[in-house]
Structure 1
Amino acid sequence: MKLSSVVGCFLFLGLSACRYSAWVPTLPASHGYLSSALAHHQRGGVAAPQAHAGDPMAKRSTEPLAVVSLAEAPGVLAEAARVLAGKPTEAEVQQALKDISATCSQTGLPEACAYLRDHFEPPLRYAGRPSEFPEEVYREGTVVMVVLEFILGTDGRPRNLQVVEGSTKELTGLVLGAVAGFRYHPATFAGHPIEIHYALSASSYSQDMKLTPQQELAWSQVRVKTFPKSLHAWLHLSRVLARDNAKAPGYEQALRELNFLSPSYWWSATELAWLYADAGRYEEAAPLALKGRRAAPENAYALETSARVAFHQNRCQEAVEEQRLALTKLPEEWPREERERFERTLADYQRQCAAPPPVPVAPSP
């Protein structure tokens, strides 16, 4: 049984680890596949990403965040950082976390967003073993997927386990029993242990099964039909379509569902913005592009999307700066054709932004 972490703290999304010389995609590929592939590459992936695998993202939260204005943002960050630099209680750590998150998401203050990325450490399991699915599951080639969500406290113990996607009672019970016995070093924020919402998926799938694209599409469609409130299932379907058929009508719907269930997830926000921009729906694209850009500032495709929307909203200088920055985020080993495409787009923005505005023409009498 393969276990994967699929959700970290609900506030830390789109984070990238150190850059490695790792797997790179081949072309042609859709924008959605390439943006996801780049994030995978930046995390040090050494093989093509599996569409069903998890990703750090958050489910929709009903807990309100403080409202922070642009003028208040530096002060809110400074006060939260001051609290965290001392000996705060767990409640004070959580409040500081919420305040900095609100400052980042509502104002885009770069220092606040950087603080979130730089000071969060995910949990690390140190005890407990995954239970194995029965041998007949593998012998018969049965694809089993179980997804659990739970609270991971500062004591490192999972509690309030909930089944998001289940299998048979026996197989789901095996996973529940195993996860209940796991022990973790807790997540920390600015060095302080914090309680987070977490999730794990357990799957019998292996690449040896060699599912065809049609078979994996059917699997992902069954998942969303059976578990329509599972953001993990919608992520699977979205990724399959991004990889194999981004022109399919169901791709936009899958991204919309994923964005609804996980509104702060950078990838679905970015790719929905890209599709809206394709259709000339720039007003709808703008807040999504901004969300993706804030959450994934190291992803060239999130930056490219932000630049595209800015250009078509007559924010010329911002578009040029964003596209130039996007170009610097492409790894040296990334496909040459993509680098050239980014360069052409930048040159196009520079040329059009340098052109004098058209002279107004008086209406005919």
Structure 2
Amino acid sequence: MGYHLWGVTSHNEEVTEQLSLSALGEARLRPDFALPELEPTQAPGVFAEAVQTLKGTPSDAEVLRAWGDLHAACDLALQEACRFLDAEFIPSKNLDDPDFEYPFDRKLLERGIFLTVVFRYRIDAEGRLQDGEFIEWGPREGTRQIAAKYKAVRFRPATLAGHRLDAPTQIFMLLGPMWVTLMTPGKLEWAWRRANSFPESGPAWTNLAMQLAVHAPDDPRFPKALERAHALAPLSWWAATEVAWQRVLAGQYAAALMAVRPAWHRERPHPYVLETAAAALFGLGCCEEALKEQERAMGSLPKDWPQLEQERFRGKLKEYQTACVAPPAAPAPHVSAGSGPR
């Protein structure tokens, strides 16, 4: 009787497979310690100091402090800091591939049951696994076997501008019978069961929100599931963008811009991130900025993007161009944000 390990991925990414949509977790690994509280005017100076520190021979503590400072500056929309993190931070990587046998009771396979395991841990500057904890788990003995396997693995530590550092990461595993393919109702039922079983799991709630977005966008529980996913995985570009889109639809333009800002200021933001930022800016009456971002969104669409979506992007750009040449009115221009989640 066979089973399939649908995917083992690290750094907060879930796999694309038959059961779960690609739930990209947190796009940029984040320090798990308190960041400095900065004023926007302080961000450029803090960024410059962090970069200067990393050009030298900093201690481990100084590298960690620079990493936190860079994230704090990026959070305040300093694009140079966000781009630096995208370019100079390399996550840890396992150097060995654990040889997995199915770790749980095979009666679970016979019953067609899928299990997820999310193992969050730290890799220190020497490449050693530290402080592991399970965010999602299966039966106790099998879960212990998985932990033992990973404790024996050798890792390449994360680096920032070439300097090793102690950083958090996580492994996602989806185990299930290879002969089972769930239809849409089964996918949704499984996603709800998973989120309810692990209410503090960002991957579980992100997966649920994505399943609802695709298969049941009119479900009245979708907005709350989306907000929960965003709260647990605040740097997930997908969750942040969909939350921001919901806020645009509700006319909450400033809140929308706040939600999408971290993803917006990445080096290569997704076209939907740019489109959402443009809609929020347009709603705030910032016509020039909205046009710029919608043009960027158009320019970043892949050539093979669905034709209907390309037309929708062009139509939105024309809508903004028409409204922005008109005499300014007292209220902000109305945004027709389109229908349904994307």
Question: What SS does the aligned partner of 1:204 have?
Answer: strand
Could you tell me how far apart the structure 2 residues matched to 1:59 and 1:79 are? 21
Question: What SS does the aligned partner of 2:227 have?
Answer: helix
Question: Is the counterpart of residue 104 in structure 1 residue 74 in structure 2?
Answer: yes
Aligned partner of 2:57 in structure 1 is: 87
Letter in 2 for 1:114: R
Q: How does 1:246-265 map to 2 (within 5 A)?
A: 246-265=217-236
Question: What SS does the aligned partner of 1:205 have?
Answer: strand
Question: Is the counterpart of residue 179 in structure 1 residue 183 in structure 2?
Answer: no
CA shift at 1:271, angstroms?
Answer: 0.6
Question: What SS does the aligned partner of 2:230 have?
Answer: helix
CA contact (8 A) 2:35 2:69 kept: yes
Letter in 1 for 2:64: Q
Aligned partner of 2:199 in structure 1 is: 228
Change (3 A) 1:358 1:189: closer
CA shift at 1:213, angstroms?
Answer: 1.0
Identity %: 31
- Which 10-residue stretch deviates more, 189-198 or 262-271? 262-271
Q: Unpaired runs of 5+ in structure 2?
A: 332-342
CA shift at 1:139, angstroms?
Answer: 4.8
CA contact (8 A) 1:84 1:93 kept: yes
Could you tell me how far apart the structure 1 residues matched to 2:177 and 2:151 are? 24
TM-score where L is the length of structure 1: 0.81
Question: What SS does the aligned partner of 1:211 have?
Answer: coil
CA shift at 1:138, angstroms?
Answer: 4.1
- Which 10-residue stretch deviates more, 131-140 or 260-269? 131-140
Q: How does 1:139-288 map to 2 (within 5 A)?
A: 139-205=110-176, 208-288=179-259
Q: 1:74 aligns with which of 44, 48, 59?
A: 44
Aligned partner of 1:7 in structure 2 is: 11
Change (3 A) 1:99 1:264: same
Q: Deviations over 1:21-77 (max 9, x none)?
A: xxxxxxxxxxxxxxx9xxx9xxxx8x8893276634589987432233333332222
- Which 10-residue stretch deviates more, 341-350 or 75-84? 75-84
Change (3 A) 1:129 1:63: closer
Letter in 2 for 1:125: N
Q: 2:101 aligns with which of 132, 139, 145?
A: 132
Change (3 A) 1:206 1:81: farther
Could you tell me how far apart the structure 2 residues matched to 1:359 and 1:89 are? 55
Change (3 A) 1:58 1:171: farther
Question: Is the counterpart of residue 113 in structure 1 residue 117 in structure 2?
Answer: no
Aligned partner of 1:339 in structure 2 is: 310
CA contact (8 A) 2:94 2:155 kept: yes
Could you tell me how far apart the structure 1 residues matched to 2:132 and 2:41 are? 41
Q: Deviations over 1:321-347 (max 9, x none)?
A: 110011111111111211111111011
Q: How does 1:316-331 map to 2 (within 5 A)?
A: 316-331=287-302
Question: Is the counterpart of residue 299 in structure 1 residue 270 in structure 2?
Answer: yes
Could you tell me how far apart the structure 2 residues matched to 1:6 and 1:218 are? 25
Could you tell me how far apart the structure 2 residues matched to 1:199 and 1:359 are? 49
Could you tell me how far apart the structure 2 residues matched to 1:59 and 1:82 are? 22
Question: What SS does the aligned partner of 1:249 have?
Answer: coil
CA contact (8 A) 1:153 1:195 kept: yes
Could you tell me how far apart the structure 2 residues matched to 1:60 and 1:100 are? 10
CA contact (8 A) 2:29 2:169 kept: no
Aligned length: 325
Letter in 2 for 1:160: D
What RMSD, in angstroms, separates the aligned Cα atoms of the two structures?
Answer: 2.7
Question: What SS does the aligned partner of 1:160 have?
Answer: strand
Could you tell me how far apart the structure 1 residues matched to 2:53 and 2:116 are? 42
